[in-house]
Structure 1
Amino acid sequence: MHRLATGPRWGAATARGPRSVNADATAAYTDPTTGEVVFALADGVGDERTAARAARIAAAAAVRVPASQGPAAALAAAQRAVRTEPGGDCALVVAMPADGGYRLGWVGDVRAYAWDGDSLRQLTRDHTLAQYFRERGQVPTPRMEHLVTTTVRTARPAEFGAAEAPVPAGLLLTSDGVHKTLTRAAMAELLRLPSNGAHDLVTAALAAGGRDNATALMADLAPRLPGAATTKLPTVTPA
Structure 2
Amino acid sequence: MTDRELPRWHTASAQGPRKLNADAVGAYAAAGGAGIVFALADGVGDHPSAARAARTAASAAARTPVGHGAVKAVLAAQRAVHDLGGTGDCVLVVAVQSDKGYHLAWVGDARAYAWDGYTVRQVTKDHTLAQYFRDHDQPVTPRMEHVVTTSVRTAGEHEIGTAVVATGGLLLTSDGVHKTLSGATMLDILGMADRAATELVRTAISIGGSDNATAIVVDPPRAEDITKKFRVAA
Give the alignment's TM-score, normalised by structure 2. Answer: 0.91
| 3-state secondary structure, aligned to 2:28 | strand
Q: What is the deviation of 1:192?
A: 1.6
Task: Note if contact 2:128-2:144 (Cα within 8 Å) is conserved in structure 1.
Answer: yes
Aligned to 1:175: 174
| Partner amino acid, structure 1, of 2:174 | S
Whole-Å Cα distance in 1 between the matches of residues 23 and 30 of structure 2? 24
Q: What is the deviation of 1:116?
A: 1.6
| Partner amino acid, structure 2, of 1:47 | D
Aligned to 1:33: 32
Question: Is 1:139 aligned to residue 139 of structure 2?
Answer: yes
Q: What is the deviation of 1:62?
A: 0.5
| Partner amino acid, structure 1, of 2:186 | M
| 3-state secondary structure, aligned to 2:149 | coil
| 3-state secondary structure, aligned to 2:106 | strand
Q: What is the deviation of 1:30?
A: 0.7
Question: Where does the alignment leave 5 or more consecutive residues of structure 2 unmatched?
Answer: 229-234
Question: Is 1:130 aligned to residue 130 of structure 2?
Answer: yes
Whole-Å Cα distance in 1 between the matches of residues 123 and 6 of structure 2? 22
Q: What is the deviation of 1:161?
A: 0.5
Question: Is 1:208 aligned to residue 207 of structure 2?
Answer: yes
| 3-state secondary structure, aligned to 2:96 | strand
| Partner amino acid, structure 2, of 1:12 | T
Whole-Å Cα distance in 2 between the matches of residues 180 and 226 of structure 1? 31
Aligned to 2:10: 11
1:69-119 per-residue CA deviation (whole Å, 9 max, x = no partner) reads: 111111111000001122200000010011151000000000000012122
Aligned to 1:106: 106
Task: Note if contact 2:23-2:214 (Cα within 8 Å) is conserved in structure 1.
Answer: yes
Task: Note if contact 1:190-1:200 (Cα within 8 Å) is conserved in structure 2.
Answer: yes
Q: What is the deviation of 1:189?
A: 1.0
Aligned to 2:69: 70
Question: Is 1:21 aligned to residue 20 of structure 2?
Answer: yes
Whole-Å Cα distance in 1 between the matches of residues 126 and 70 of structure 2? 17
RMSD: 1.8
Q: What is the deviation of 1:193?
A: 2.6
Aligned to 1:234: none
Task: Note if contact 2:101-2:166 (Cα within 8 Å) is conserved in structure 1.
Answer: yes
Aligned to 1:95: 95
Question: Which segment is superposed worse, 66-75 or 188-197?
Answer: 188-197
Question: Where does the alignment leave 5 or more consecutive residues of structure 1 unmatched?
Answer: 228-239
Q: What is the deviation of 1:33?
A: 2.7
Aligned identity (percent) is 55
Aligned to 2:231: none
| 3-state secondary structure, aligned to 1:109 | coil
Q: What is the deviation of 1:226?
A: 9.0
| 3-state secondary structure, aligned to 1:201 | helix
Aligned to 2:195: 196
| 3-state secondary structure, aligned to 1:46 | coil
| 3-state secondary structure, aligned to 2:50 | helix
After superposing on structure 2, the runs of 4+ consecutive aligned residues of structure 1 that deviate more than 6 Å are: none
What is the number of residues matched between the two proteins? 223
Structure having the larger proportion of residues in helix: 2
Task: Note if contact 2:10-2:194 (Cα within 8 Å) is conserved in structure 1.
Answer: no
Task: Note if contact 1:112-1:172 (Cα within 8 Å) is conserved in structure 2.
Answer: yes
Q: What is the deviation of 1:35?
A: 4.7
Whole-Å Cα distance in 1 between the matches of residues 112 and 88 of structure 2? 23
| Partner amino acid, structure 1, of 2:14 | A
1:32-73 per-residue CA deviation (whole Å, 9 max, x = no partner) reads: 132511100000000001000000000000011111111111
| 3-state secondary structure, aligned to 1:77 | helix
Task: Note if contact 2:34-2:66 (Cα within 8 Å) is conserved in structure 1.
Answer: no
